[in-house]
Structures are given as structure tokens and as C-alpha cells.
Structure 1
């Protein structure tokens, strides 16, 4: 009950509420069981996946299926599935942990695993009838069957509800006939079950269906050829064509017209799991980069000793540390919300749905931040390898190509940026997050005389935490003024929303990093956590610089005259350090530790 009774911040509340470091979960809090699970997944990947990377790059789809079956035999496909349906019934943090460590070696397996365990299984688990769950979930949990998710169409991508696939009820009322075209369907080449979305008559919203697929009896289902893609070469990706495919009425998923809701809630889970899937990818790239940098001699010196390389290694490690911090913080918040709802009498289905939905803002934030950090990490990995990095004989080239899809999956990063602000505003209107009060307080603060007293920063990261509080004021100042000016028309000003979202994202990521470093410094000692403290300071510095730039961009876009001058002065005040950190010294400190350990070591 301890987890349920802690002071849980509701989704989106982080922007108006201070969180105590004791109230967040960090990777250092993994239980013994979770550590054993992590180690077993790493052992599986190091044995079955990492040595076989060339096979994944040569479009060996059968090998991806083979590895997935082995993962199923180990129970890794059923981590989130309750024991009643032959799963392991683990909590949300453990499901994140498995997704994290199984996904780092190759994007091909990461995609197959994510599509199967997420959007291929969860819609039935969360929306299916008891009969549907008993019939299908055990097969999916064990890897006897694999799942695919058929939502996207040639004319329906980000606008998922505009699909043209039709479902027509038979005259005798026993089945629907589905006809239409789906594209970019992961796992299509070896799946036995598809979650298919189609429109019944002229319904406003699409409806979900469970469609069995047997290559020996296609039932009107035709698969296109495997797509030739930039990356994730051995992830089966095909078009799927339905021609009067008969689906029993009992295979409708949830209620008629509920498909769009199913799709959106599946995306919430998919977004945070996608962020997790980018974590070990970064760790492995950093480790391979530092190994190469230590071995590569130029001018009679390992290139790891050059300042330009140190800067890259430090930034890569800092982003990875920040991403871990934020992902597991949010994962535990979701788990606590799920457990709290179950304790209050909610069904497992309802608790899971509402628990994740509560933190939809954080899920979108993580999807954007971590996917972009992963892309940057792989790009810098290529740069450290130099000419060899551009060669397919080294792991960097494939890692960079695989990383690219992450910014498109689960809703593009542009869509997710706008969603973060849109969802936050909706929470404010519902009274779930009080934005108005703090925004008015910030406006009053701007009109007052700032204090010129120099605080006594004695506790670890106390100045950084104070600065973080001021960054929140900067966001509230900008978002409050923009909402006041545009009202419901705000959603039409996409570039303004993108800038505001970048500020919100940096605040959440920086806060998660600071709180993790602070919590661990308090329990393990500041000396033992000096590198983690350095990374927290470096991440915050970079966040402040970005917030300053994006803040100016936003303010100048919708203000003028005295209002503009006042807000720009406020932004300057809210992004001002009392004691500016020595960024180069921080980077050297971080890089020297990684270089010495010859791996990502935090």
C-alpha cells in the first residue's frame, strides 16, 4: 500500500506542483525481481540478437519470427498479461523494463515485439469480452500466435478516424464483411490475428474487429509484398487488403463506433513503451562509441581524449540518463494509479485504461523527447566512428536507420507536441490541473519588484531546483497569455503550440533528472553520485538554453509593444542563473568516467 499512499502527482500536474524526490521512482529502485528480469532479458538479447545483427539487416523475416517465438517461450511476450490468460501478470514498471532491454539491439525485433505485445494484444486485453480474452490472449501471450494492428490507410494516417475500410452486416446478422486497404502493417507477414478498424454504414467513428488470419484459408485477406524501408529491415511490414472478409459478430471489439477510442488509448500505451524501446538502444550506441573512441588512435592519442569527442560522449550519456529518469518516473506513476484504482474496486481493464490515460501528457512528452534523443545519439555515434560509422560493417549505420522511424511511430512527434498542450488545456478546463491560478500568480509576479537577495544554496541541487521552478513560471506566463488571447482558436496556431510544447517537454525531462540525482545523492551520498549530479546540471543547462530560445520565439509570435517587452523581461528573469555552471568542466567530468569504464555506466 505504500506506493498507493504516496503523494501521487496527477497527469500534467508537474507543471504547477513541486514534487519531492522521495516521491519519484528511479532505476535504482528496481526490486530484486525486476533486476533479475532485466538481467535475463539482457542475457537473451546478448545471446540471440546482438551476435545476429547482420541477419536482421539482410531482411531475414523468418529469423525475426524465430526470435519472437523464443521470447514467447521465455514468457517475455506475456509480461503484462494477467496470469489468468497464461501471462506473468507483472506491473507496469516491469513491462517497461522488458520493453527497454529487449529493444536495444535492433529496431526490427523492437518493432515486432512492440507491435505484438502492445497494439496487437492490449486492445483485446483492455476492451475484449471475457470470451474474447479467453480465446485469444493465451495464444498471444505464449507466442503461439502473433498479432498485428490494422489502422493506417493510404488516406488515413495521423487522421486515423478518416479510414475508408467498410464493415457490412450480413442479412442474417451473423457476421460482418470487411473490405478495404490497410498499409504499414507491422508483423503482417507472420501474424495469426489482426486488430482491424472499419466503418459501419455512415458511423461518425470507426469500429474495431478481431480478425483471424490463416495463410491456408485467407478468407478474403491478401498481403502485399514486404515493404522496402530505410531501417527496421527484418520487421515484416506489408499492405493488407480485405475483400469481403467474413468476421463473426462476436468478434467486434468493444462497442460499435468505439474504434477511435480504442486506437487513441492504444497509442497512449504505445507512446511510453516506444520511449522505453529507445533507452537500451542509446546505452548500446554509447558503449560501442566509447569502445571505438578508446581504441582509435590518431596523432598518437586515443580519440576519446580529445575534447570534441568528450563533448559528444557527455551529451549522449546525459540524454540517456535523463530519458531513463523520466521514463521510469512516469511508469511508476502509472503503476501506482492502476494499483490505486484496483484497490478502489475497478476491474483490471478499467484500472489499466484509466491509469495510462491519466498520464497521456507524459506519454506524449516521453515519446517525443526520447525518440529525438535516440536519433541524436545514433547520429553522434556515426560521427565518433568517422568514416567507419558510415559503413554497414559497424553497428552505427543500422542503429541510425532504425532510430529514424521512432519519430513517426505512434503519432508523429509534431502531432504529439501539439497533443501535450491540447491535453493540458483540456485538463485545466475539467479542473484536473489548476493552470489559471498559477498563471495569474506569475502575471502578478511580473508586475512586482524582483528580489536581489542571493540565496544560500547549501543542499544538493538546490539552485537547480529553484531555477526549475522559474522555468515552470516561464511556461505558465507564455501558455496563459496565449490561451487568453486565442481561446479555443489556440489549436490553429501550430508553431506557437510547438514552441510551448518544447518548453513543457524540457521542464518534465529536466525535473525528472534532477529529482533522480537528488534522491540518489541523499541515500547514496553526494560523492558517490557526483557524476549523476553533473549530468543533472548539464541537462538543466541545455534545457534552459532551449527554453530561452523557444520562449522568445513564442512570445514574439503573438505579442507586441509593452506586453511583449514585459514578457521578454520575464523570460530573461525566469531563465537566469545565480551561479552559471562550468559546462565544459561538467562534460569532461562525465566523459572521463565513461571513457574509464569503457561503457555507459550509470
Structure 2
């Protein structure tokens, strides 16, 4: 059981903004247990053996092959990592589930989507909201890969506004069944699923209700043709039509009207898992780019030696390293919060639900940041390959197409940006995160005289950590003033919210990579961590630039006159380096390392 002191070191969701975190208090990939490393290597071997050599099958829309690979994953136990042992699973912690999601997703987005839809939104709603009877009946089959699951939420008129669905559920005259009628679209795994989590509205209820529906074409269920998509081509994606589909009343998931709650909490889990599912794709894109750059000779020189190519490789590596750092930091926070709740008497269901819900802000941050990093990474990968990158004969164009969906599903990045700020404000109103006091302190600081003392930057990352603290002040200044000005109407100012969200995102990502690297350097020595130190500094340098731009945008949108001038002066003060890093030298160091190793090697 966690001691109170240990519990106090685990920040609540969103508290990273107002509390300083010690590097010893975060989890990093260097902290993987031997069991987790073995699991990682097992998954990598599976992908390298079964999937990577057959990438062409995925691009040619071989849906049967995707199903075959999923069954093989089930045989290895990879579909059951998060399922408790008593239900036929491995009962592993949240970090381990992230680890498998990370490495199983590297070769193709088609498998990543099938895996995520099945293990996440296809299985987790039953695991977290099902009755004991429902869990015993369905979860073991899903965990083994005997059955596959899908998730039927989206409709032609209900996307981001998930609760606006028109699908109806009518109780039969004998009271034993609900008859479901309606249309669902963009349903992953629809072509080979055995079970569907379906959301429908009973009578004129305010909120939708969740149902467990066994797939049976003779029970009023019709599938549309496979969708022809930009990417994830071998991920089965179809429309599903229900026409008086009979569903036993005992297959209602949770309580009547709980569907919207189920959908939102399933998305919280899906968002952080989506971030994980982008990571190994980035590693492989970087490795393929480095190998090609080392082999491609122009002007009698490998193009890897050209500064323009080095710049790209360095930026790709730095964002990968940061995304990995932040993803596993949040995953361990969730795992620890689940353990705390279980030690306090919560059931596994309650603990996992509340543990993930606690870090919904971080889940949305990661979804946005990592999905955009993989898109940029694949785009640069194509550029490094040049004309060959545009050809189907190389893996880059498929990686670019597969990456594009990640900014759309599990809630668009625009929705997630607005959610991060909205959820943080709600936490503040509930007293879970004290934003008012630090925001007032920042306002007072703006009115005061800045210190002209020469700071002591003799310790590793002392200036960088001071900069992180100043960047937090930028968010508190912008968001605090915006809340004061607009109050509850802030949600109507979407462009301002998105600018504030980008500031918040960069703070979390930059702090995560700094803390991971500080922990690594303390363990192994600064000399051995010199490339990681360079990546952390490069990421922070870019984050400061983004925050400066978004800060100006946000301030200009609501402040005028003296207030605007004062806030812009504050922005300049809070984003100013004492010792500006030599960003070109940082990129050279990072690139030289990956070029020498001929792969992403961190």
C-alpha cells in the first residue's frame, strides 16, 4: 500500500502547471522492468517477423490478413494485457498496456487501428462498466482473440457532438428486449467483429445508452461496403445499419442514460493509447530516413552529411524523444493513481475509471502533441527520401497516409485542444487545481520591478527548469486574464482557447523531456546522456518559440491599450533566455549520433 508521503508525490491531473516536479518522481522508459523489456522485445519480434515483411498486403487492402494478424496477436496474449487474470487476461499495469500498444503499432496504421479498436473501445467499456455476468460472458473471448470487438458511436449527424445521435432503442412489448434502429459510420473492425458496443437513445432521454450487441446478420444488422480511405487501408471500416435489432435487456451497458459518460471515458483511455500508438511508427520512420540518408549519395557525399538533412533528422528525433517521455510519465501517473484507489477500497472498475479520468487533461495533451509530431515526422521522412519518398516502393508515403487519421479520431485535435483548457478550468472551479492563487501572483509580478540578479546556472538544466517555470507563468497570465474577462463565455472564444491550449501542451511536453533527461543524466552521468541533453534543450527551444507566438496571439485577441502592453512585456520577460542555446550545434550533435548509429537509438 502507498504511504501518504508517496501519494503526495503523485500530482493530480493538471497540477503539473502549478507545482514543480522532481525528476525522481516521474517514470521514464529507462525505468522499464525486466518483464516489461521482455514484453517489448516480444512485440517487436512479432511485428518484425509477421507484419513488416508483409506491409504490401496492408496497402492492398487485405482485410483478411489484418484479421489473421490480430488472431496471432491474441494467441500471444497481446490482446489481454489490460484484462484481469480472473477474466482470462494478463492483468498487467497501465504502463505495460501502453508499452504493447506502442510497439505493436509501429509497422502499419491498419494493425494499430484494429488493435486499438479491439483492446480499447471494443473491450474496455465492458471491462469498466459491465456487470459481472457481462464481463464473464464476453471479456475472456475478447481477450483471447476468439472474438473481436467494435465500437458504434459515430453517425452521419453525430461526430464530435457524440450525444446527438439519432439511433433509437425501443423496449419490446414483453419487456425482454430493446429493438435498435439506426445508422453508424466509420466503424473500425466492422468487417470481422463478433461484438459491437452500440450507443442509442431510449425514448426522449437526454443522454444516450450503451448496449452490448452480438453481431448477427439475421438480427437486423447490415454492413456497408468497405470504405476506401487515404490511409489505414487494411483496417476494416464500414457503415453499420440496425433495423429492429433485438438486444436482450440484460445487455444494457451500465445504467440507462450512461452512454455519453461511457463514451467520454472510453475516449480518455483511447487518447493516451493513441499517443502510444504513434511512437514506434516515429522510431521506424526516423530509422528508415537515417538509413536512406546514409546510403543516398549526391555530389559524392551521403546526403546524411548535409546540414539541411541533419536539421530534419535532429528535429524528428527530438520530438520522438519528447513524445515518449511525456507518454510514459502520464501512463505511470495513471497506474499509480489506480493503485492508490484500489488500496482505498475501490473495485478494479472504479479505480481504473477514476485513475484515467483524473489525467484526462494529460491524455488530450498527448493525443494532440504526438499525433501532430508523427505527421510532421512522416512528412520530413518523405522529404529526405526525395522523389523516392513519393513512391509506393518505399515505406514513407504509406506512413504519411496512415499518420493522417491520428489527428482526427479519438476526438479531433481541435476538440482536444479546447478540452484541455476547459477541463483545467473546471478542475480549478472544483478546487482540485488552485489556479487562482498562482494567476494572481503572476499578475502582481507583472506590476513589480523585475529582478536584475545574476542567476546561478551551474547545475544541469537549472536555466531550462527556470524557463519551464516562466512558461507556466505565460499560461497563467493569458488564461487567467481570459477567464477573468469572459467567465463561462470563454468556451465561445475557440481561437483563444486553442492558443492557450498550445501553450499548455508545450509546457507539459517540454517539462517531461527535461525531467526525463535530468533523471537519466543523474543515473548515467552527463557525458553518457549528452545527446539526450541536446534533444531536451532543442525541444525546449522550439517550445519557447511556439509559446511566444501563441502568447502574442492570445493576448492580442482580448487585451488592449495599457493592459496589452503590460502583458506583452510580461510575455517577453517570461520567454527570454539568459543564455540562448546554439540550436545549430544542438541539431548537429543529435544528427551525428543517429547517423553514426544508423537508426533512432534512444
Q: TM-score, normalised by structure 2?
A: 0.99
Q: 1:335 to 1:293 in 2, by over 3 A?
A: same
SS in 2 for 1:292: helix
- Which residue number in structure 2 is paired with residue 347 of structure 1? 347
- Which residue number in structure 2 is paired with residue 569 of structure 1? 569
- Whether 1:369 and 2:359 are equivalent positions in the alignment is no
- Whether 1:104 and 2:106 are equivalent positions in the alignment is yes
Tell me if structure 1 keeps the 8 A contact 2:290–2:594. Answer: yes
SS in 2 for 1:211: strand
1:15 maps to which of 14, 17, 25 = 17
Q: 1:8 to 1:534 in 2, by over 3 A?
A: same
Output the CA distance in 2 between the equivalents of 1:412 and 1:3: 39
- Which residue number in structure 2 is paired with residue 75 of structure 1? 77
- Which residue number in structure 1 is paired with residue 493 of structure 2? 493
Output the CA distance in 2 between the equivalents of 1:329 and 1:459: 23
Any idea what the Cα deviations from partners look like across 1:162-196, whole Å, max 9, x if unmatched? 00000000011000000000000000000000000
- Whether 1:170 and 2:172 are equivalent positions in the alignment is yes
Output the CA distance in 2 between the equivalents of 1:360 and 1:289: 34
- Which residue number in structure 1 is paired with residue 581 of structure 2? 581
Output the CA distance in 2 between the equivalents of 1:316 and 1:58: 28
- Which residue number in structure 2 is paired with residue 453 of structure 1? 453
Tell me if structure 1 keeps the 8 A contact 2:2–2:340. Answer: no
Output the CA distance in 2 between the equivalents of 1:214 and 1:427: 43
Tell me if structure 2 keeps the 8 A contact 1:3–1:336. Answer: no
Output the CA distance in 1 between the equivalents of 2:419 and 2:195: 30
Any idea what the Cα deviations from partners look like across 1:54-109, whole Å, max 9, x if unmatched? 00000000000000000000000000000011000000000000000000100000
- 1:2 CA displacement: 6.0
Superposition CA RMSD, Å = 0.7
Output the CA distance in 1 between the equivalents of 2:422 and 2:190: 33
SS in 2 for 1:196: strand
- Which residue number in structure 1 is paired with residue 222 of structure 2? 222
- 1:241 CA displacement: 0.1
Tell me if structure 2 keeps the 8 A contact 1:454–1:578. Answer: no
- Which residue number in structure 1 is paired with residue 319 of structure 2? 319
Output the CA distance in 1 between the equivalents of 2:278 and 2:31: 20
Output the CA distance in 2 between the equivalents of 1:341 and 1:459: 37
- Which residue number in structure 1 is paired with residue 264 of structure 2? 264
- 1:453 CA displacement: 1.3
- Which residue number in structure 2 is paired with residue 203 of structure 1? 205
- Whether 1:159 and 2:157 are equivalent positions in the alignment is no
- Whether 1:429 and 2:429 are equivalent positions in the alignment is yes
- Whether 1:29 and 2:31 are equivalent positions in the alignment is yes
Output the CA distance in 2 between the equivalents of 1:334 and 1:409: 22
SS in 2 for 1:76: coil
1:173-192 mapped onto 2 (5 Å cutoff): 173-192=175-194
- Which residue number in structure 2 is paired with residue 53 of structure 1? 55
- 1:458 CA displacement: 1.2
- 1:3 CA displacement: 9.0
- Whether 1:286 and 2:286 are equivalent positions in the alignment is yes
Any idea what the Cα deviations from partners look like across 1:358-405, whole Å, max 9, x if unmatched? 000000000000000000000000000000000000000000000000
Tell me if structure 2 keeps the 8 A contact 1:205–1:260. Answer: yes
Q: Structure 2, unaligned stretches of length 5 or more?
A: none
Q: How many residues align?
A: 600
Structure 1 window deviating more from structure 2 (369-378 vs 454-463): it is: 454-463
Q: TM-score, normalised by structure 1?
A: 0.99
SS in 1 for 2:228: coil
1:287-306 mapped onto 2 (5 Å cutoff): 287-306=287-306
Output the CA distance in 2 between the equivalents of 1:288 and 1:519: 29
- Which residue number in structure 1 is paired with residue 596 of structure 2? 596
Output the CA distance in 2 between the equivalents of 1:459 and 1:214: 65
- Whether 1:250 and 2:262 are equivalent positions in the alignment is no
- 1:567 CA displacement: 0.1
Tell me if structure 1 keeps the 8 A contact 2:499–2:554. Answer: yes
Output the CA distance in 2 between the equivalents of 1:234 and 1:373: 23
SS in 1 for 2:528: helix
Any idea what the Cα deviations from partners look like across 1:393-452, whole Å, max 9, x if unmatched? 000000000000000010000000000000000000000000000000000111111011
Output the CA distance in 1 between the equivalents of 2:456 and 2:169: 68
- 1:277 CA displacement: 0.1
1:455-470 mapped onto 2 (5 Å cutoff): 455-470=455-470
1:125 maps to which of 124, 127, 136 = 127
Output the CA distance in 1 between the equivalents of 2:2 and 2:293: 45
SS in 2 for 1:173: coil
SS in 1 for 2:79: helix
Output the CA distance in 2 between the equivalents of 1:426 and 1:511: 23
Q: 1:197 to 1:3 in 2, by over 3 A?
A: farther
Output the CA distance in 1 between the equivalents of 2:21 and 2:409: 31
- List structure 1 runs of 4+ shifted beyond 4 angstroms: 1-4
- Which residue number in structure 1 is paired with residue 308 of structure 2? 308
- Which residue number in structure 2 is paired with residue 41 of structure 1? 43
Any idea what the Cα deviations from partners look like across 1:439-488, whole Å, max 9, x if unmatched? 00000111111011121111111100001100000100000000000000
Q: Structure 1, unaligned stretches of length 5 or more?
A: none
Tell me if structure 1 keeps the 8 A contact 2:43–2:100. Answer: yes
SS in 2 for 1:167: strand
